[in-house]
Structure 1
Amino acid sequence: MNKLNILIAGCGAVGCELGRQLTSMKCFNVWGLRRNISKLPSGVHPIQGDLFQEEGLGQWPEHLDYVVYSAASDGSSEEQYRRAYISGLQNILSRLTKKNDHPKRILFTSSTSTFHQNDGEWVNEISETCPIKLNGKVMLEAEALLRNSPFPTTAIRFGGIYGPGRNRLVNRVLKGEGCPKEPLIYSNRIHQKDCAGIIAHLIRRDMDNLPVDNLYLGTDSDPATTHDVLQWLGQQLDVTLDNVNYPSPPSSQQGGNKRCSNQRLMETGYKFYFPDFKAGYSGLLHDR
């Protein structure tokens, strides 16, 4: 069987983990495009390039079977967001069109920031999206750009990504910063390894001619309250948290208050490495 060529455009933390998973399957040639290729994992073919420069995307293989766009913004300004998720994606789509290349599918790492719901309600792939914040608006625009391209596409809206090097909540707990139990503020998360696992799983389904939708929610199976997550982390780290003087849970400031359903993803047969925050953070805390 001839190996399939996969390009990971914007091969950062999630992209590198995806590269490791795909190369282990032995049926893919994996190419990673990023500015600093020294950080690519072994087995991933390096492409030194800049997503933000249409003529600076490096040397690609002659044909690509799959493309994964997994860029991250360099900052939180509108210009930085639009460069990462609109301009960069447009450059990749333009390059594919000019090469007359027709990948089987393009997969895009989007975000649950596209949702505006803020009352703890459940949301899924058909829920209304009217984001107020910049990041959600830009992600919706990027999804539309992808959807209107001439290629089969899938966007995966990931929740709060955590994993090696992503220690925001752990650092908060180590400083003793908790939050009140009420009002209930729900947060959604996904381990970095499962971000990559979901993408790899959907690529394998597509290879096997099984149905792949154009949108999935990529969150684990436990949209727990921020209070519960912080309290559990405090117990594991033997830290007593101040739940009085830190009244604004980080989720209410950053990601809203909603519960994301991963039912559509689960129906594809995906098996989580870390189905809830306790499983995911246990490994991270053990490795500290």
Structure 2
Amino acid sequence: MNTRPSVMIAGCGDVGSRLGLLLSRVGWTVYGLRREAAGLPVPILPVAGDLLSTQCPRSWPNGQLGYLVYAASASQHDETGYRQAYIEGLRNMLGWLQQRGQAPKRLLFLSSTGVYGQNQGEWIDERSPTEPTGFTGQMMLEAEQQALNSGLPTTLVRLAGLYDPSRPWLQNQIRAGLRVDREPPQYSNRIHRDDAAGLLAVLLQADLRGTPLEDCYLGVDDDPAPLHEVVDWLRERLGVTQWAEQTMTRRAGSKRCSNARARALGWAPRYPSYRDGYDSVGQRKS
């Protein structure tokens, strides 16, 4: 009898693949669902499927499925794209489970700290009011509610801005002279992609051991820093001296997110601050 725990990672992109590799190393059977599944790293078992289809993928696994991680991301950043990825996609996924008579022990739904509308530098935790003003946060809240109403035990994981220095979006902005407001400080929250995967693995392993999980966790590092501080630090690392004429306007407001609940479960970020996460960038000063 196979007693290996199993998980389906729906929308198995970058963070999903990192999670899958972590779980595989500790004995899990990992299925990864995405449209182009052949490129998934071994030993993640590929399941080719389209979350926008009501038809269950032909390579969907039989038997019981232990856990479901819904980690889809929007392919287009407008209201339609968000609705398709997070609301319609989840609805179809839940329909597939019903078609196959499968009821995972828990659903982890990857959401965003964008569900919080606070913009005055307030400290935020899982109990803070969610009153987003933009469509992205509003769509995510609707999707969260659908997950919570799915009939499956559900945990929401609200991730802050994902980053990895090997994906140099921010560095490129800095080199272009990114200018941000200093007063009032615009607090920014982030989490290294490896730490996001690590948090999801900790949650799944905890549930497998029978540790009670809360219905929501914030996935952020220890350092919700003012964006101008991050920019100044990276400018020095990269040796950038020029400034762009325009100041960048941020959509995400200004808030400080606490990871105390996740830490209480035993998780700790390997990269507690942007300084740790971006340590490989640029030349270290002697």
What's the TM-score once normalised by structure 2's chain length?
0.94
Instruction: Report the 3-state secondary structure (helix = DSSP H, G, I; strand = E; otherwise coil) of the residue aligned with 1:140.
Output: helix
Instruction: Report the 3-state secondary structure (helix = DSSP H, G, I; strand = E; otherwise coil) of the residue aligned with 2:147.
Output: helix
Counterparts in 2 of 1:171 and 1:199: CA distance versus 1, 3 Å: same
Pick the aligned partner of 2:272 from 275, 280, 287.
275
CA distance in 1, matches of 2:175, 2:243: 11
Instruction: Report the 3-state secondary structure (helix = DSSP H, G, I; strand = E; otherwise coil) of the residue aligned with 1:43.
Output: coil
Contact 1:116 1:132 in 2 (8 A): yes
**Partner residue in 2 for 1:159:** 160
CA distance in 2, matches of 1:49, 1:285: 40
**Offset of residue 80 of structure 1:** 0.9
Alignment of 1:58-77 (within 5 A): 58-62=58-62, 63-77=64-78
Contact 1:51 1:92 in 2 (8 A): yes
Contact 1:177 1:241 in 2 (8 A): no
**Aligned length, in residue pairs:** 281
**Partner residue in 2 for 1:259:** 256
Contact 2:111 2:158 in 1 (8 A): yes
Q: What code does the residue aligned with 1:267 have?
A: A
CA distance in 2, matches of 1:212, 1:285: 40
**Partner residue in 2 for 1:52:** 52
| Mapped pair 1:103 → 2:100 | no
**Partner residue in 1 for 2:124:** 123
- CA deviations 1:12-37 (Å, max 9, x no partner) are 11111111111111x21100001112
CA distance in 1, matches of 2:8, 2:107: 10
Determine what percentage of the aligned residue pairs are the same residue: 41
**Offset of residue 39 of structure 1:** 2.5
**Offset of residue 81 of structure 1:** 0.7
CA distance in 2, matches of 1:177, 1:22: 38
* Greater than 4 Å deviation, 4+ residue runs: none
Alignment of 1:1-288 (within 5 A): 2-25=3-26, 27-62=27-62, 63-163=64-164, 166-242=167-243, 245-249=245-249, 253-283=250-280
Contact 1:23 1:30 in 2 (8 A): yes
CA distance in 2, matches of 1:100, 1:38: 26
- CA deviations 1:93-135 (Å, max 9, x no partner) are 1111222212111101100110010111111111111111011
Unaligned runs of 5+ in 2: none
**Offset of residue 241 of structure 1:** 4.7
Counterparts in 2 of 1:188 and 1:138: CA distance versus 1, 3 Å: same
Q: What code does the residue aligned with 2:119 have?
A: N
Counterparts in 2 of 1:180 and 1:39: CA distance versus 1, 3 Å: same
- CA deviations 1:195-216 (Å, max 9, x no partner) are 1111000000001111211101
CA distance in 2, matches of 1:83, 1:125: 26
Instruction: Report the 3-state secondary structure (helix = DSSP H, G, I; strand = E; otherwise coil) of the residue aligned with 1:248.
Output: coil
Counterparts in 2 of 1:241 and 1:228: CA distance versus 1, 3 Å: farther
Segment drifting more, 120-129 vs 37-46: 37-46
Q: What code does the residue aligned with 1:276 have?
A: S
- CA deviations 1:224-274 (Å, max 9, x no partner) are 00000011111111112528x33335xxx2211111111111111102111
